[in-house]
Amino acid sequence: MTMPSIEQLGTPLLEELADGAEHSTRELRERLALRFGLNAAELAERMPDGRYLFHNRVQWARTHLKKRGLIEYPRRSFSRITAAGLEALTPAPFPATPPIDAPLAAPFIGPGPLEAELRALTGPAAATEEDWLAIRLLNGWGAEGVLSYAEVARQTGRPVAELLELGRRCRRGDIGDAPMLDAVLAFACAHPWVDVAEFSFHLAQLGLVWSPFSVAGICEAARRFGRDPQWRMLVRVLATSRGKGSPDDCRRLPRPFESWFEVEVFLFLEDLGYRARPQVRIGQYRADLVVDDLATLLVIECDGEVWHRGDRADRDRAREHDLLGDGYTVVRISYADWCERTARTQAALRATLHELDPLRTAG
């Protein structure tokens, strides 16, 4: 028997809890092992960090069901089905093309059409279930939003360097045909101000997802698979819908931006008609924003709320010196100036843009 995936464990696990009683995780593992006919060698298979593979997948299946409200944890290491979980065990058939105002059917358990397509598009990078889980978490292809590399490393037990390489391998550029992704992006572009909290609900009505999917994850899918115009639009949607200071803000921040300050400057440039690229590698450096449709390449560095001091400031000055020597124009904007002296700071940036591209009106 092939080792079941996390998605394949969802429905069987819920069925084992259908009696409404509390069941320990150990008991559930034993029942599921019997159900899938796993032998001793398969149960003894371990992950690179030493944890048992099957145990880890059962735990993740529990986690996903709990996040969807289908089970609850009455006490440590025990699970119990909820009313929503009982309802999910007998879902009505999901129509292939339901009308937009059709009522949402009971929740499905599984990856859904969009997620299945995204997994196929990542190709050999998602060779194992563990690889796919890490890719899914990194890209926000779930309800949680985009997680940091440190958080994914903590959840998966994999080194950050390994996750960085995994993320690099699953980026494809323009992959051509992707009907599910294009349908989702078309919906997002047609309804740019739809409540992000209800985004998955609308996608489920269209039959594109069966489980929650974050807007940040859709945005990252557009970037990874060469849908640049849609990616730029969704960046704006995320910036508009965020609640400043909200605990979820970091999970809504679209990659590859490293701060919402960078997003604000990026959108300011977009409004002026310039196409900026975030987090561009130039030699050994990584620039916050690069505007390359000018007579001279412009690098914009966005200094955060706490300006760099000491060794970091020295490195910043050395980097700026090197970039100037390579023919770049460098503009450094502080967060304090952007917030407290907004008009003056933006006027200075417009003047720089006009100087580098005098034939274009810079707003």
Strand ranges for the chain from DSSP E: 23-24, 71-72, 78-81, 276-282, 285-291, 298-303, 329-334
The answer regarding whether domain 260-356 maps to CATH 3.40.50.2300 reads: no
At residue 308, the pLDDT reads 41
At residue 323, the pLDDT reads 65
Specify burial of residue 216 (Cβ count, 10 A radius: 0-12, 13-18, 19+): buried
Could you tell me the residue ranges of all domains in the chain?
Answer: 6-88, 114-252, 260-356
At residue 215, the pLDDT reads 87
Mean pLDDT by 10 residues, the chain (363 residues): 78 88 91 87 83 87 84 91 81 45 45 84 84 88 83 88 86 76 88 73 80 86 90 90 67 88 94 91 84 84 61 56 68 90 93 79 47
At residue 108, the pLDDT reads 44
At residue 105, the pLDDT reads 42
If we measure between CA atoms, which residue out of 225, 128, 232, 132 comes closest to residue 171?
225
Architecture in CATH for domain 6-88: Orthogonal Bundle (1.10)
Domains 6-88 and 260-356 share a fold: no
At residue 157, the pLDDT reads 86
At residue 142, the pLDDT reads 79
What is d(CA 86, CA 20) in angstroms, rounded to the nearest whole number?
Answer: 9
